[in-house]
Structure 1
Amino acid sequence: MVIAPLLFALAASASVATADGSGTEPKMRNAHLAPITTVTIENNGATSPASKEPAEQCADFKLSSQEVRKYIGKAAEVAEHDYLHMLDWSPCHASGKVTFKGGVTGTWEIQQYRAGSLKLSNGRTVYLYCPQCKAKAFPAVEK
């Protein structure tokens, strides 16, 4: 039957999200994170092991501690499914450690296309997205 594959293709194309605003945005909610006390950067301009592209493509993706603080403070939480299936994947990322007021610590990762994650010492993993975040390392968002 030809109709079933056609409907599947239409449904799949309707669920795609892009950082440039041309697709469907994931449902975002406040992450309810405490204020940050310290941020350290361990990897900047890193390339994902899954990338088939050379590491040079990520050499310019470098975030400052201040940009990381702003991103974590401004980013919204998204569901894990949306993080994995709706947001654009980037081979370039930065990562490090963070400490929040109250003593919760964690590791953070921010991708070039504004998706990110926090693995916290309290067992919580927070998936983030910040389409409005600005940094020299982020690509311009087309309207």
Structure 2
Amino acid sequence: MVSAPFVFALMVSASAAASDGSGTEPTMRNAHLAAVTKVTIEHNGATSPAATEPAPQCADFKLSPQEVRKYLGTAAEVAEHDYLHMLDWSPCNASGKVTFKGGVTGTWEIQQYRAGSLKLSNGRTVYLYCPKCKAKAFPAADE
């Protein structure tokens, strides 16, 4: 019979092995998204409804369609729990619609600190993170 402390030690060890070791980055994996064929921006420089008050700095958070395409093509998928609990939240976001090769469509949202999400027409929700993505609207990596 396996003891409870041994099982706990295995769980902790597996959890530590799945992260980058620093505890600051979520585990990222390929999102397996098809190529983007169309991007529409519906809201740019928006303040999240979860913010307690309007954030004036959000007016400067504007992404171009090319930057959205690049983000969606580069970002990695993260677990919902990591998206909600490990990534920095920003009151500033941009959102819109996307169409992928093959006909799957979706609604996207990208936050100022490089977290994002996709709600796809096939029922799948994908949580994204792209720490290396670059756009004029993203803060510099050392900020």
TM over 0.5, shorter chain: yes
Distance in 2 of aligned mates of 1:125 and 1:50: 20
Task: Give 2:102's aligned residue.
Answer: 102
Report if the CA contact (8 A) 2:117-2:126 is conserved.
yes
1:56-75 to structure 2, matched below 5 A, reads 56-75=56-75
SS in 2 for 1:77: strand
Consecutive unaligned residues of structure 1, counting only runs of 5 or more, are: 1-21
State the 1:56 CA deviation.
Answer: 1.9
State the 1:55 CA deviation.
Answer: 3.8
Distance in 1 of aligned mates of 2:133 and 2:51: 24
Give 1:130's aligned amino acid.
C
Distance in 2 of aligned mates of 1:80 and 1:26: 10
1:79-118 to structure 2, matched below 5 A, reads 79-118=79-118
Give 2:67's aligned amino acid.
E
Task: Give 2:5's aligned residue.
Answer: none
Percent of residue pairs identical: 87
Report if the CA contact (8 A) 2:58-2:92 is conserved.
yes
Give 1:26's aligned amino acid.
P
Structure 1 ranges of 4+ moved more than 3 A: none
State the 1:132 CA deviation.
Answer: 0.0
Q: Deviations over 1:37-79 (max 9, x none)?
A: 0000000000011212434220000000000000000000000
Distance in 2 of aligned mates of 1:141 and 1:51: 23
1:27-38 to structure 2, matched below 5 A, reads 27-38=27-38
- Bigger radius of gyration: 2
Distance in 2 of aligned mates of 1:63 and 1:23: 29
Task: Give 2:3's aligned residue.
Answer: none
Q: Deviations over 1:4-47 (max 9, x none)?
A: xxxxxxxxxxxxxxxxxx86100000000000000000000000
TM-score (norm 2): 0.82
Aligned length: 122
Distance in 2 of aligned mates of 1:51 and 1:82: 20
SS in 2 for 1:67: helix
Task: Give 1:124's aligned residue.
Answer: 124
